[in-house]
Amino acid sequence: MGQVAGTAAHLAIERGITPQEVPYPQLRERLAAQKVELAGKENPAEAP
């Protein structure tokens, strides 16, 4: 979980946005490049 938060923060700083505004597909792509495995739905916005 820490790597996900750190990666989201890094992407946010690069783009000048908040971590909550980082597009999930971009975060997922960056995490995949880091070989981080994620479980769950493809898009967290679809979660109940």
Q: Which residues have CB under 8 Å from 21's CB, separation 6+?
A: 12, 15
Going from the C-alpha of 42 to that of each of 1, 2, 16, 25, the distances in angstroms are 17, 20, 25, 9
Task: Say what the pLDDT of residue 38 is.
Answer: 79
Token pair in block for residue 42: 């493809």
pLDDT in tens, 3-48: 999 999 999 999 999 999 999 999 999 999 999 887 765 655 555 5
pLDDT reported for residue 45: 59
pLDDT at 2: 87
- Beta carbons of 9 and 19 less than 8 angstroms apart: yes
pLDDT of residue 39: 76
Question: What is the per-residue pLDDT for 37?
Answer: 84
